[in-house]
Structure 1
Amino acid sequence: MKDLQSILVTGGTGSFGKAFIRTVLARHPDIKRLVVFSRDELKQFEMAQEFSPERYPGLRYFLGDVRDEARLSRALEGIDTVVHAAALKQVPAAEYNPFEFIKTNVLGAQNVIDACLNNDVKRVVALSTDKAAAPINLYGATKLCSDKLFTAANNIKGWRDLRFSVVRYGNVMGSRGSVIPFFLEKRKTGVLPITHGDMTRFNITLQEGVDMVLWALENAHGGEIFVPKIPSYRILDVAAAIGPDCRHEVLGIRPGEKIHEEMITSSDSFYTVDLGDYYAILSPTGALGVEAYCERFGGTPVEPGYAYNSGANPEFLSVEQLRALVREHIDPDFAV
């Protein structure tokens, strides 16, 4: 972040936002300007108890909603870097309230893009999800639309020194509403609800997600969807790790849910580059094709037809590894 002096984080009071703010302040306590942009005044008040503007003079809390472009544009005055983490993300809620998700996740994304184009912003990284790859639910479809908006925004930046890119990763361990905190609470009842015994998911820690976004801010050419190489877990292994003595209650797949998640589809393979720790899915309409991108930034094109799937992932977390991660990232006193 050597060239970045002012950052705004949409959805800054969420799980990712707080971890990102914590990391930036730890590494750059004298940052010129760091803005938490979110719509919940209570969460901003609570967050300010840990991260106060008195302790960090560059830190500011800005109430606003990504649905409001004028408010976004005002908040972006003097900002050179934007991390877009604001989203509605609960799959069942999206199926029941589709247009609310469209207004935040799609129209809100375009508002962020327009506000960045209208201010002197230089770098933009938007957060995505594995559910945006070959989506079967409304939430994933809105995030795919968002991804396309951000990658295509590089085509209309004109003369601006501005780069839009996306990071796409799997379930964040310990984030609000995710399965592990849910199981930790449910094990008190002696029963763990299981949607489907074959279900798998990708797994990434909050800090790994933060570090990936910081890497993308430094390294993005513009137009990429970056995907990390991360392990998977089996839902039954999560249940065994957290509640080995609990009874399982099989509920069936929820509306819009997959057995396995993809982050790179076989159709994406023709535009995908292996960068080592990450993949980059290039925009089909971008200025650089796969060969030119590899020449400039290194990396290797993936095989045609390659797909990155949580069920076929070569790396799975064991029960003991899951327990260790729970103790490290969620509950230090966790025991079975």
Structure 2
Amino acid sequence: MLNNKTILITGGTGSLGKALTKTILEKWPTVKKLIIFSRDEQKQFQMAQEYPLFKYPQIRFFIGDVRDFERLRRAFKEVDFVIHAAAMKHVPIAEYNPMECIKTNINGAENVINAAIETGVSNVVALSTDKAAAPINLYGATKLASDKLFIAANNIKGDNPIRFSVVRYGNVMGSNGSVIPFFIEKRKDGKLPITVSDMTRFNITLEGGVEMVLNALESAWGGEIFVPKIPSYKITDIAKAIGPNCVQEVIGIRPGEKIHEEMITSSDSFFTYDLGKYYVILPQIPKWSLDEYIKKFSAIKVDQGFTYNSGTNSEWVSVEELRMLIKEHVDETFN
């Protein structure tokens, strides 16, 4: 799929960007070019040490910000696929700096869309979050707006064959700023701060996130929001898994946080289909035949009123399973 193609990843020095880079280079060794687009020169410098040019001549590091349309347009020239992973994602920081979050997550999305349409990119996959479903915080609201922009981009592209789609998933295990590395660090103090004892979250590994993005690149017709079928965990169980001898100190919910996360709302159920491994929320006015899509993917319509919520999920990760997953996917030295 990606051999002899040029791929650009915005936010490419983040956790998912690095995981995508590793997978792409392993599975498609003759990829024409892989461009890492981000604004943090230190992270680019560090990543370049892992992928030296003499060994990985396909990689290019491109300093830029998704807020800067002209820089994006230059970076997108002769690019086939764009994976949009750049975002301002920390909930409390977004609540305190709302316009900065809007500039990156909404204006940045619009810039990516316009630059891609103007430069002949053939396929764009944007990363979303469970917080975009029925959002109660600014981060979630900006990602919902971003999702809407990418879906609507399929209607404004004219006769351009470009496809825009979205991948929405829950907390990525061990990603920058996530709870697992935070708890691993805090367990040294003998106390783990718990917001609310009955809080739950969806859980996906970096590898699972990468697989979803690559699936969307290959199979999207344009306008879909792909949602994985993944397990949930209780925040108290992740605390037990990481610090079984630690005191769990309830500190109260933070601004903009939910007790349970939702990836598909009851309002989404009217347009949601089960694809087996994934759910997909289809555009309300698709630019292609719905009957052909259903036949191609053996898609089954979910029941009206269906929701996909971390608190009512049917699949759960146990304390022992969490410990194994942390050792396998986050920290090999974890014990």
TM-score using structure 1 length: 0.98
The within-5 A match list for 1:1-336 is: 1-2=1-2, 5-288=5-288, 291-335=291-335
> Does the aligned pair in 1 maintain the 2:4–2:30 contact within 8 Å?
no
The answer to whether the 8 Å contact 1:125/1:165 transfers is yes
Q: What are the Cα deviations for residues 72-98 of structure 1, in whole angstroms up to 9, with x where unaligned?
A: 000001101000000000000011001
How far the C-alpha of 1:288 sits from its partner, in A, is 4.4
* 3-state SS in 2 of match to 1:283: coil
String of CA shifts for 1:215-246, please: whole Å, max 9, x gaps. Answer: 11000010000000000000000011111110
- Tell me the amino acid that sits aligned with residue 57 of structure 1: P
Shift of 1:47: 0.1
Over aligned residues, Cα RMSD in angstroms? 1.1
CA contact (8 A) 1:274 1:280 kept: yes
Q: 2:206 & 2:225 partners in 1: Cα distance?
A: 19
Deviations 1:146-189 (A, max 9, x none): 00000110001111121000000000000011011111000000
Residue identity in the other structure for 1:91: V
CA contact (8 A) 1:30 1:56 kept: no
Secondary structure of 2:331's match? coil
CA pair 121-180 structure 1, distance change in 2 beyond 3 A = same
Quick check: 2:3–2:28 contact (8 Å CA) kept in 1? no
Instruction: Check the 8 A contact 2:272/2:282 in 1, yes or no.
Output: yes
Deviation at 1:285, TM superposition (A): 2.7
**Deviation for aligned residue 1:295:** 2.8
Q: Is the 8 A contact 2:125 2:165 kept in 1?
A: yes
Counterpart CA distance in 1 for 2:290 and 2:252 is 41
Secondary structure at the counterpart of residue 315 of structure 2:
coil
Are the aligned partners of 1:152 and 1:285 in contact in 2 as well (CA < 8 Å)? no
Q: Distance in 1 between matches of 2:210 and 2:314?
A: 24
Distance 2:155 2:202 in 1: 31
Ranges in structure 2 where 5+ consecutive residues have no aligned partner: none
Contact 2:196–2:250 (8 Å) recurs in 1: yes
Instruction: Give the CA deviation at 1:297.
Output: 2.9
Superposed CA deviations along residues 180-226 of structure 1, whole A, max 9, x for unmatched, are: 11110000000000000000000000011001100110000100000
Output the CA distance in 2 between the equivalents of 1:164 and 1:54. Answer: 34
Provide Cα deviations, 1:259-316, integer angstroms capped at 9, x if missing partner: 0000000000000010000011011132247555313432100000000000000000
Q: Aligned partners of 1:3 and 1:29: how far apart in 2?
A: 7
Residue 30 of structure 1, CA deviation:
2.2
1:40-95 CA distance string (max 9 Å, x none): 11110000000122211121000000000000000001101000000000000011
* Separation in 1, partners of 2:97, 2:189: 30
1:5-24 deviations in Å (ceiling 9; x for gaps)? 01000000000000101110
User: 1:316, 1:58 → 2: CA distance?
Assistant: 40
Contact between 1:82 and 1:123, CA under 8 Å: does it hold in 2? yes
Local SS of the residue matching 2:119? coil
SS state at 1:253 partner: coil
Helix, strand or coil at the partner of 2:324: helix
* Alignment partners' CA distance in 2, 1:51 and 1:92: 33
Write the distance in 1 (CA, Å) between the matches of 2:66 and 2:132: 20
- Runs of 5+ unmatched residues, structure 1: none
How many angstroms apart in 1 are the aligned matches of 2:141 and 2:20? 26
SS of 1:118's equivalent in the other structure is helix
Q: Which moved more, 1:264-273 or 1:295-304?
A: 295-304
Give the residue type in structure 1 aligned to 2:230.
Answer: I
Tell me how far apart the structure 2 counterparts of residues 196 and 19 of structure 1 sit (CA, whole Å).
31
Tell me, what secondary structure is at the counterpart of 2:188? helix
Aligned residues: 335
* Alpha-carbon shift at residue 4 of structure 1 (Å): 6.4
Per-residue CA shift, 1:79-128, capped at 9, x if unaligned? 01000000000000011001100000000000000000001100100000
> Alignment identity in percent?
65
Shift of 1:29: 2.2
